[in-house]
Amino acid sequence: GAGVSQSPSNKVTEKGKDVELRCDPISGHTALYWYRQSLGQGLEFLIYFQGNSAPDKSGLPSDRFSAERTGGSVSTLTIQRTQQEDSAVYLCASSPSGSGGYTFGSGTRLTVV
């Protein structure tokens, strides 16, 4: 597609529920990144994909967080047993060659109540 597409744009969920966030990167971009932005916080790296593999998942906050990427394209970030501290904007970005010059998606605002 023309840009990085994320869905849903907003998600309100009850504490303890699981959520899935989706990212569809720019066509042909092999590198895909997930970041999290909390109120008053900077962007926090979560995970990096090159193709379908995740060489760096060091930023995932806990084992409740997981992500996958299929077909070298769409990625899904899953948060199990959501907690209130998971509330944030989750941003996906892609780049053609694994450089820091990303294109970000519009994000998913997750609110855990």
Write the DSSP symbol of residue 112: E
Tokens representing 2 are 């023309």
Given 2, 28, 99, 113, the residue binding another protein (CB under 8 A)? 99
C-beta closer to another protein: residue 10 or 83: 10
Q: Of the ranges 11-19, 42-50, 66-74, 76-84, which one interacts with another protein (CB under 8 A)?
A: 42-50
Task: Name which of 112, 111, 107 is nearest 9 in CA terms.
Answer: 107
User: What H or E segment, with its residue span, contains residue 62?
Assistant: none
Site residues for another protein, 53-82, by CB under 8 A, read 55-56
Pick the closer one to another protein by CB: 12 or 80: 12
Window contacting another protein (CB under 8 A); options: 15-23, 35-43, 66-74, 78-86: 35-43
* Helix (H) / strand (E) containing 15: none
84: phi then psi, degrees, rounded to nearest 5: -60, -30
Q: Does 45 bind another protein (CB under 8 A)?
A: yes
